[in-house]
Amino acid sequence: MKRGGSDEAKRRAGESAAEQVEDGMIVGLGTGSTAAHAIDKLGQQVDAGLDIQGIPTSFQARANAREAGIPLTTLDEATPDIAIDGADQFADGNLIKGGGAAHAREKIVDSAADRLLVVVDPTKEAETLEHPVPIELLPAARQPVTDALEAAGGEPTLRAAAHKDGPVVTDNGNLVVDCDFGTIDVPAELATTLSQIPGVVEHGLFVGLAAEIHVGTANGVRVVTP
Ligand code: 5RP
């Protein structure tokens, strides 16, 4: 899916993270237009002899990895040494993810990895998180989850599909709401609140997971270490 930010900056970020991957590594493969650049670069490195296996975080990441010629495995078989993934916003090392509705599997793979390298363009940087938080939920739980999110101070909006009547349906067969909480002063607290709502499959707050954030710019890459 095409989203905002310069593609050149995204490419720099993706390639910078891909360069940290070494022979023999298991690599979590993130979703989105910036992570796709990392996957492309890894594919080139595999062509040149790099021996790795990837664990995709979504249908699209799997398709990108297959196209790039990266051998794949699963979390049943291996644990990622490193994961490379994008973000919709970052502040103080914490992330909001889920612009591609892939955050449930992304969080599983990214959390399992020894190190998560986040790849972004400068439009993703904020002083404080305030982007609406994507929340994947079971379809049968839509109303009670909506009520609970409103009680927690959020304004949830069911994500509509772009090329289909009705809502986005995730790779896992669930729905997504984007929940506006305004400025998120204590992300860990909100993350705990969201995780405790019955029917929530996963939310897009990634707290304390990033080891490095590679910010591609117009002429280079800035690496932020939280
Ligand atoms: C998908 C994600 C993406 O990583 C996030 O939306 C960033 O995407 P992009 O690099 O295209 O801006 O969380 O669920």
DSSP 167: B
Question: Do 154 and 100 share a domain, yes or no?
Answer: no
CATH, residue 99: 3.40.50.1360
| Residue 2 belongs to a domain | no
pTM above 0.85, yes or no: yes
Question: Do 138 and 121 share a domain, yes or no?
Answer: no
* For ligand 1, mutation pick of 34, 107, 121, 209 (most atoms within 8 Å of CB): 34
Residue with tokens 């270490």: 225
pLDDT averaged over every residue in the chain: 97
Question: Do 68 and 43 share a domain, yes or no?
Answer: yes
Query: Is 77 assigned a catalytic role?
Result: no
Question: Do 175 and 159 share a domain, yes or no?
Answer: yes
How big is the chain by its Cα radius of gyration, in Å?
Answer: 17
pLDDT surpassing 60 at residue 2: no
pLDDT surpassing 90 at residue 77: yes
Query: 199 alpha carbon to ligand 1 midpoint, in Å?
Result: 23
Question: Do 111 and 145 share a domain, yes or no?
Answer: no
Edge-to-edge order in the sheet of strand 53-56: 53-56, 26-29, 82-85, 115-120, 210-216, 221-224
First to last CA, the chain: 28
Query: 94 alpha carbon to ligand 1 midpoint, in Å?
Result: 14
Question: Do 109 and 153 share a domain, yes or no?
Answer: no
Burial letters 49-73, b for 16+ CB under 10 A, else e: ebebbbbbbbebbbebbeebebeeb
Q: How would residue 76 be classed by pLDDT, with cut points 50, 70 and 90?
A: very high
Q: What is the pLDDT of residue 1?
A: 55
**Cβ partners under 8 Å of residue 55, min gap 6:** 26, 27, 28, 29, 72, 73, 74, 75, 78, 80, 109
Domain limits for position 67 = 7-125+207-224
Pairing of strands 210-216, 115-120: parallel
Q: How confident is the model over 132-150, as pLDDT tens digits?
A: 999 999 999 999 999 999 9
Q: Please, are residues 180 and 132 in contact by the beta-carbon 8 Å criterion?
A: yes
Domain count, the chain: 2
| Residue 96 belongs to a domain | yes
Catalytic position from the list 15, 67, 106, 212: 106
pLDDT surpassing 70 at residue 94: yes
Q: Please, are residues 132 and 89 in contact by the beta-carbon 8 Å criterion?
A: no
Q: How would residue 38 be classed by pLDDT, with cut points 50, 70 and 90?
A: very high
- Between 1 and 74, residue with greater pLDDT: 74
* For ligand 1, mutation pick of 10, 15, 29, 31 (most atoms within 8 Å of CB): 31
Q: Taking the mean position of all CA atoms in its chain, how far away is CA 194? A: 17
Question: Do 89 and 184 share a domain, yes or no?
Answer: no
For the beta carbon of residue 78, count every other beta carbon within 10 angstroms: 15
Cα–Cα distance, 97 to 206 (Å, whole number): 7
Q: What is the pLDDT of residue 200?
A: 98
Cα–Cα distance, 98 to 174 (Å, whole number): 13
Question: Do 117 and 175 share a domain, yes or no?
Answer: no
| Residue 1 belongs to a domain | no
Say what the alpha-carbon torsion angle 31, 131, 152, 58 is, to the nearest 10 degrees. -10
Mean per-residue pLDDT for 115-121?
98
Query: 153 alpha carbon to ligand 1 midpoint, in Å?
Result: 25
Q: What is the pLDDT of residue 106?
A: 98
Question: Do 115 and 144 share a domain, yes or no?
Answer: no
DSSP 132: P
Question: Do 52 and 94 share a domain, yes or no?
Answer: yes
